[in-house]
Structure 1
Amino acid sequence: HSSLMQFLSILLFVSFIHFSLQFQCIHQEEEKGPVEVVECQTYCFADILHQHRRDRRFLRRGCVKTHSLIQKVEFYLKFNQWPDKVDCPEGLSRYRPEGGDNQYFEQRCCHHNLCTNSPDE
């Protein structure tokens, strides 16, 4: 029984580390304020709409995973081809747009620009 608890605690710790690393780039930028360049390792550079604590949203310079994922999201944004439920790629947040032309779409992945630098493969 104790081994199960040990396993769960390790699992929790690992998932926490993963989550911390995933949003490290955004949180660093938030503290410093808007900057021209964000250093990304094995991540792509983009503007990310990050939903924070449900009610607050930030448009921030940050890092997302691969260029192909970004192009996919851009395509969705461009042609407004959104399914009822959006399963966002890893590293992208889901949000509910409010007002404007976006009001008819319930859920979308983060709005961001295409990468300004090539990701490390």
Structure 2
Amino acid sequence: MLSVNLFPVFFLLALFPVAFFWFRRVYRILVKRDFSEVALKKGLPPPNAEKYAPYEMVINLIAGTVIVGVIIAVLFGLLEYQAWIAVAGSTLWIKLFASFALGRQAHGLGPKTKSEGNQEPR
């Protein structure tokens, strides 16, 4: 009887849409000049999203390229299971942390405070 561990298969299949979405973001930033998905915080881009667009594009381009490289390496048998799972998983996490950090940097750190002239009376 054939026994197949399904986790690697599902993880490999999940890498296809992940790479597609990351490359779609690169295309939107580079070609369409659409900055609506740049440095998001709570689903909203910063007011100066164009300033942070090159960084977001590079993050997505590098991560997407690594994921496509992993997919190709797995399909051609160039990487063993432990190696490609480690590379793909690390890439996913690093990309998420990098985009999160860029979003926090673009929106400013800490809560927004009201200026002294606009405070409500107590």
Which has the greater radius of gyration?
2
Same fold (TM over 0.5): no
Higher helix share: 2
